[in-house]
A and B are shown apart, each in its own frame.
Chain A
C-alpha cells in the first residue's frame, strides 16, 4: 500500500483576469515573477522545502504554459517513483461531466487521486501568491492542537481587513467565527487560502457538498465544517506574503525585489526557490552599458542602460536604450535607442528601434480602466512593436502591431491596441 502522511493539492486553474493581457494566454500561476521565476514556483518550492513530495496541480484555464513549465517536476525534485507532481485537469466521466466549478469542487473531482495515497492530511494551496512558508511547521501546529482543519492566516492592517476573509479566534488560536469581506471587521487575521485538513474530514465535507454549484472552500466547505463542530484553528504566518492579483500590485511586488535589502529574500541558501532553468549562461554587459538597482536573469545581453528594473532570462537590450522602473520578461528583445518607462513587457516580445513606452500625461484606459492604470504600459506575450513609435501611459498592446497601427507614429495614453489573432 502507498501511504503518504500529507499530500498537497495546488489550485492552479484560475485565470486571474485582473492581470489583464498577462493572463490572456496563460493561467495566473504561470505568469513570470522576479525575473526568472513563475508564480507557481513559490508554493511548489515551499512544498519540497517543507518535505512534501506529493503534489497534485489542478489546472483548467490555459494550461499549456503550466504543463510545459512543470513537466515531470525535475526542477523541484518532484520527479519521484512514488508521489511527485501530477497535473490534474478536469476530465470526462461516464455521467455528469463538468469543469471544475469551484475550488472545493475541483478537489472533490480528484478524490481518487487523493485516496490513492492514503493521506492522513491534505494541504490545500493556491498558485497565485508570492511567499515562502514552512508547511511542516503548520502541520505540527495542526497536530498539536488536534485540529480538524487549520487555516493559515496573516495579520493585515485593520483598515485593509475588509478586503479579506477574516478569522476571529480565541486566545488559543481556535477559530470561533469568521466573516467574508466584513464591513466592520472584528479581527485583522486574514485567511491566506491555505488549509490543512484531516483527510477524513475533507472527504466527508466534499461528499456532503458534491451537488452544491460552484463548491468553494471559503463559502461552503469551511462554514459546513464549522456548523458540524469540527475544530478549526488559525495558524498565524508572519513572513512575506503577497497577493499579486492586479497589475499594479504585481508591478509593485516586483519592484520591491530591487531594494538593497528586499523584504522578500531570494538569496536564502536553505530555502531556495526552484524554477525550470532552461537558460543558464551568465549575463553579458556590453561596453557602453549601465545598470543600477536592478535584478537580471540568466543569459541576458545588456548593451543599453537598465535602472530600477526586473529583467527576466534571455532578454536582449540594445545600445542606447534606457529601461527604467520596468519589468521585462523572459526572451524579450528591445532594439536600439528606446526609452522604456514603467512598463510590463511579457515574454518573447519584440520592440523595434527608437520606441518610446510610457511617454506623456496619463489618461484613463479606453477598454479596461480598472486594469490598465497607474501609468503602466503593458505589452502582451509575443507582441511586436514596430520601430519609431511613441506610446503613452495606461496603454495595452497585444499581438503583432505594425507602423500603420500607429498614426503619426503615436499611440496616445489610455489606448488599447489588441491585434491578437490578426495575422
Chain B
C-alpha cells in the first residue's frame, strides 16, 4: 500500500485512573493477550503498510518493552520498518511533545524523507480491525483532503468524550466538535485519518508557525469548513479503551462468541508479542464458566464471567466474578473478587474480599517484585 503509518501513542488519560500509573494507555493489556497498540499495528501490517512510526511520550517505557522487536508485527523488513519516536533534544528544540501535531512536527524530517504519497494516522488505544485500503479508496474516490474514519455509537453510549461529527448526505463533514459538553451527534471520530503526505506536512508546518499543537483541535476542527474533510463510516466492531468503564466493557465484550470469532479466528489475525507461556493448568475443585483464561495460568478456584490474563495464579476456594485479572497476579486461597480490575503483578493475600459497587473497582496490591508494566 502506498502509505506510511503514524500511530499516536503518546498520551496519558486521567480517565484510566490508577491503571495508567505505570503504563501508557496504548500498552494496556486487552482480551487476555493483546496490548491495545496491537490493533493499530496489526491493521497497518495487514493492510501492507511497510513503514510505521509510533509517537510515544507518557510512560513510554511500558510501550517500548512491548515493542522490543518489530518482527511480531512483520515490520522487520528491508523496505520499511517500525520507528519509535520519543521526544529528544535537538539543536532546534528541547521540548516535550506538546500535542499530537507537535509530535509529528518534531519528527517532520521522517515524513519528508518518505516516498509514499499517503499517510494513515491512527491512535493506539482502540480495539478494531480495518483494511486501510478501503479507507484510502474512499478517500481517493471522494477527492477528499482528509478522510476521518467514524462510527455511530449505540444510543446508550455517551459520545461526549469523543470528537463528534455531522456529515452531509455525500459524506462530507459539516461539523466536527472535540469532546462537546452536550453531544448533538452520535457519530464519533475513531481517531483514524487518511491524507496526502504533502498536505500533512503543509498543515503541520502551518500549525507549528502558529504555535498550535493538537491535531484534532488545531487541524481537523479548525479546517473543517476550509478543507474537504470526509467521513468514512465503519460498521464493524470499534471500541476505545481510554477510560476505566470503556476498558472494562471492551474486555467483557470478548466474552461474546461473535467478538471472539471476529478477533481470534477470522482472517486477518491480530498480532502481538509472543511470550511463550505453558498451557493453562486446572487442578481439582475448579469451576470456570463463561470466562477467558490465558496461557501460563494455574487455576484452583471458581471463575465466572471474567477474563484471566497470562501467568496468573488463582488459589483454592477463590471466587472470581465479573472481573479482569491482569498479567501475573497471584491470588491467595479463599479470596472473593467481584466487579474488579486487578492490576498486573499483584499479590492478593489469602482471604481478601474486593467488590466493586457500580463502577469496576481497581485493585492494586504491590507485590514487592520489580514493577513491570
Contact yes or no, A286 B279, CB < 8 A: no
Q: Which residues on A sit within 8 Å (CB–CB) of B255?
A: 284
How far, in whole Å, are A287 and B305 apart by their CA atoms in the complex?
Answer: 9
Is the CB–CB distance between B32 and A289 below 8 Å?
A: no
List B residues at the A interface (Cβ < 8 Å): 31-33, 71, 255, 257, 260, 263-265, 272, 274, 276, 278-296, 298, 303, 307-309
Q: Write the chain B residue with the least CB distance to A299.
A: B264
Which residues in A have their C-beta under 8 angstroms from that of B280? Answer: 283, 295-296
Interface contact B290-A297, CB-CB below 8 Å: no
- Are A288 and B283 in contact (CB-based, < 8 A)? no
**B345 nearest CB across to chain A (Å):** 13
Known contacts: A267-B296, A295-B282, A296-B280. The answer to whether A281 contacts B290 by CB under 8 A is: no
Chain B positions within 8 Å of A290 at CB level: 287
Question: In the bound complex, how far is the Cα of B278 from the Cα of A266, in angstroms?
Answer: 6
- Take A292-B282, A293-B283 as given contacts and tell me if A284 and B276 are in contact as well, using a CB distance cutoff of 8 Å: no
Q: A175 to B312, alpha carbons, bound, how many Å?
A: 47
- In Å, the complex CA distance between A46 and B31 comes to 31
Secondary structure at chain A's binding surface: helix, strand, loop or mixed? loop
Contact string, A331-371, partner B, CB cutoff 8 A, digits 1/0?
A: 00000000000000000000000000000000000000000
Interface string of A256-268 (1 = CB under 8 A from B): 0010100000110
Task: Report A87 CB to chain B, min CB distance, Å.
Answer: 20
The verdict on A89 contacting chain B, using a C-beta distance below 8 Å, is no
| Complex A-B: 10 CB contacts under 8 Å | A267-B298, A273-B276, A284-B257, A285-B288, A285-B293, A287-B289, A289-B288, A293-B283, A295-B281, A298-B294
Q: For the complex, is A101 an interface residue (Cβ under 8 Å from B)?
A: no
Across-interface contacts of B71 in A (CB, < 8 A)? 74
- B291 & A296 in contact (Cβ 8 Å cutoff): no
> Could you tell me the distance between the alpha carbons of A295 and B278 in the complex, rounded to whole angstroms?
9
Q: How far is the CA of A288 from the CA of B290 in the complex (A)?
A: 8
With A282-B293, A284-B292 as known contacts, state yes or no: A273 contacts B264, CB within 8 Å.
Answer: no
Asked whether A286 lies within 8 Å of B274 as measured between CB atoms, the reply is no
Question: Is A127 at the interface (CB under 8 A from chain B)?
Answer: no
Q: Which residue in chain B gives the minimum CB-CB distance to A310?
A: B279
Chain A residues with Cβ below 8 Å from B296 are: 267
Q: Nearest 6 CB-CB pairs, A to B?
A: A282-B32, A266-B278, A281-B264, A35-B279, A282-B292, A282-B294
Q: How far is the CB of B105 from chain A (nearest CB, A)?
A: 37
Q: A35-B279, A292-B284 are in contact. Are A277 and B33 (CB under 8 A)?
A: no
Which of A18-65 touch B at CB < 8 Å? 34-36
As a 0/1 sequence over residues 278 to 319 of chain A, the CB contacts with chain B under 8 angstroms (1 = contact) are 001111111111111111111101000000001100000000
A292 CA / B294 CA spacing, docked (Å): 16
Are A293 and B276 in touch, CB under 8 angstroms? Answer: no
A118 within 8 A of B: no
